[in-house]
Amino acid sequence: MSMPQRPLRLGTRASPLAMAQAYLVRDALCAAHGWAQEAITLCPVTASGDKILDRALAEVGGKALWTKELDEWLFEGHVDFSVHSMKDVETIRPAELLIAAMLPRADVRDKLVGAESLDALPQGARIGTSSPRRQAQVLAMRPDFQISLFRGNVNTRLAKLAAGEVDATLLAAAGLDRLDMSDVGVALEQDVLLPAPSQGAIGIECRSDDAETRALLATIADAPTMQAVAAERAFLAALTADCRSPVAAQARITEGGIALKGQILLPDGSETQAGEALLAAPEDGATLAATLLDRASPALRAYFGQ
């Protein structure tokens, strides 16, 4: 296909990981359309979430801190499409915007950095994380752990670990892989730590009424990833979860349907409700959410707007 008349503008956060993900999107599009790299210009923005590093996201605006600036650029026509970690995208999005494609999903697991296993950590070990899910999951297994708020990009967190601020931290395997840091940490299987909904998935968003860009992005859309993430996001939406809600979910496409595992927890790990279901369609993820909420105590339901 011939090069576009002008370079297409891809909006991205400016963090090292976000830039690495933007390069993956650029390369996939150029390969699909036979373009040189110059066909796509990367337009980095420093997101609010990258500026505010001393407080938990839930205190200062939640997941919108990762998408707000990029959304404005799309609305105003400064960029043609934008790239997101799907894990950071709010469940309810503006109707004027559309996640038109997702790249094939990467490793969904979490990695433990600083120890060979959770069991190997000493009594009262300090775990650095800003994720309510990770905090609740590790406290459910080891109530003796001390949790320390850990914000910043991957290198910032690893530097804090190296400086002895904590004994261990948890990071997404996909992010480490994309930063060429696959040798860092030990992967935790899903039966140990069920990942966050949408973990490992990269989404590409454009304006809903931009048919030309939607058609271009459709060529790199990975259908199994989009189905699995849609099921996880349907589960999340039915929980009315927010940034404070400890929730995990993982969907797999099987011959019989979409196999979805889900988990909701109290922040201190003292209650966990988990289950799985085989779904006929992604939107059926809501049924697993209802099952877990039915089993949950009033205290746990309160973390999910119930």
Residues with catalytic roles: 88
Structure tokens at 210: 């931009």
Which has the closest alpha carbon to 195: 156, 248, 266?
Answer: 248
At residue 292, φ and ψ (nearest 5 deg) are: -70, -40
Cβ(147)–Cβ(130) below 8 Å: no
Distance CA 16, CA 152 (A): 11
Cβ(121)–Cβ(115) below 8 Å: yes
Torsion-angle region of residue 247: left (phi > 0), alpha (psi -120 to 50) or beta? Answer: beta
Residues shown for the chain: 306
Distance CA 289, CA 287 (A): 5
